[in-house]
Amino acid sequence: MAIKSIIASIIILLSTHASANLIINGDFQNCSLTDWSLDTDGLGQLTDTTDFSVLDSAGQCSANLGMSNLEQLLLNDPSGLSGFANTLSTILDLSGVADSQILDLSFDWIFSGGDLQDPLSDFLSVSLTNGVELDTLFTQFEYGSGTYRTQIDTRYDGWALDFTLNSGFNPDSFSSFLTLDNVSLQAATVPEPRALLLLLLGTGVLVFGRRIC
């Protein structure tokens, strides 16, 4: 019984090293797009947010981007300069992170719809930008789903993390959707000396316990 109590204490101590998510409302569990910016064609915050919504599945919420309003913008603009992209964006505040710290970035995505899935089709892209520079992290033309993971450093402090649904040039374009959830940015999980010591202590307790039994 004592061994179990010691192991439980070690697990609790190790769990205190888990870092907080630096993306506010990254899991959308308040079932809103609070703390996110909505943008169409780089024009800034929108008055018509028809293409941006939250999907609520029994209290498990996720962000959803569509393209119906985007298509209307293109049809109503004789210049053809509108209706190219919807973007859900958040600004990275890394001011409280040590300069040498590496950060784990991850998110769950579902890309679906009725386009042809060729080089001229709707596509999704994920990028980091400061308004001048653009670093593309992820691009997807084919429908599917998954979890994307990468690592970034603190030079991206103040940059925008953009999730963009881009329009294609097929007859069936403007028919795609992007569902997004569990957007996370946390300090990379590199074991600290104290954590390693606790882990070794726990292993030693287990071995000793087995021997005396």
Average pLDDT over residues 112-122: 94
Compare 140 and 193 and report the one with higher pLDDT: 140
Angle in degrees, CA 77, 79, 85, rounded to 5: 65
Name residue 90's amino acid.
T
pLDDT of residue 132: 97
Whether the full predicted model's pTM is greater than 0.85, yes or no, is: no
pLDDT of residue 74: 85
pLDDT of residue 61: 98
User: Tokens for 80?
Assistant: 């053809």
Query: 56 exposed, middle or buried (CB, 10 Å; 0-12, 13-18, 19+)?
Result: exposed
- Does 88 score more than 90 pLDDT? yes
Buried-state track 161-172, b at ≥16 Cβ within 10 A, e below 16: bbbbbbbbebee
How far is CA 1 from each of CA 101, 189, 202, 207, 210, rounded to the nearest angstrom?
A: 39, 31, 14, 15, 13
| Contact status, residue 151 vs residue 104, Cβ threshold 8 Å | yes
pLDDT of residue 39: 93
| Contact status, residue 37 vs residue 88, Cβ threshold 8 Å | yes
Query: Is 22-188 a CATH 3.30.1300.10 domain?
Result: no
**What's the CA gap between 111 and 168, in Å, rounded?**
14
Angle in degrees, CA 146, 148, 149, rounded to 5: 145
- Does 149 score more than 80 pLDDT? yes
